[in-house]
């Protein structure tokens, strides 16, 4: 993955249209799981990122904890798993 703001990242899986990814970032290995150190991405060790990248499928739900920022319609077409079930049902035409 390459964006205008950041260098290359290995094994990157996009989870929103606003630039949030799950990807390998060995530079943050000591902080992973304990500290927010990047701009919204989920950092993994290279081994964990390879395993996730090899098995992730488009549409897989991703649950992120430890943040007050939630995905929404403003994040483009990759937010539907962020909608709780009662809200999802309320959008039904049935």
Active site residues: 23, 41
Six-digit token string for 11: 């094994």
CA atoms within 13 A on the CB side of 31: 10
* Residue pair 20/41 in contact by the 8 Å Cβ criterion: yes
Residues in the chain: 94
- Three-state SS at 80: helix
CA atoms within 13 A on the CB side of 93: 0
């Amino acid at each position: 993955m390459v964006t205008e703001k950041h260098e290359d990242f290995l094994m990157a899986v996009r989870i929103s249209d606003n630039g949030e990814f799950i990807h390998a970032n060995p530079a943050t290995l000591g902080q992973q799981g304990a500290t927010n150190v990047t701009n919204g991405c989920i950092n993994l060790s290279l081994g964990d990122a390879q395993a996730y990248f090899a098995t992730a499928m488009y549409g897989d739900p991703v649950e992120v904890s430890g943040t007050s920022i939630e995905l929404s319609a403003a994040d483009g077409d990759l937010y539907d798993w962020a909608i709780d079930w009662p809200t999802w049902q309320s959008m039904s035409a049935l």
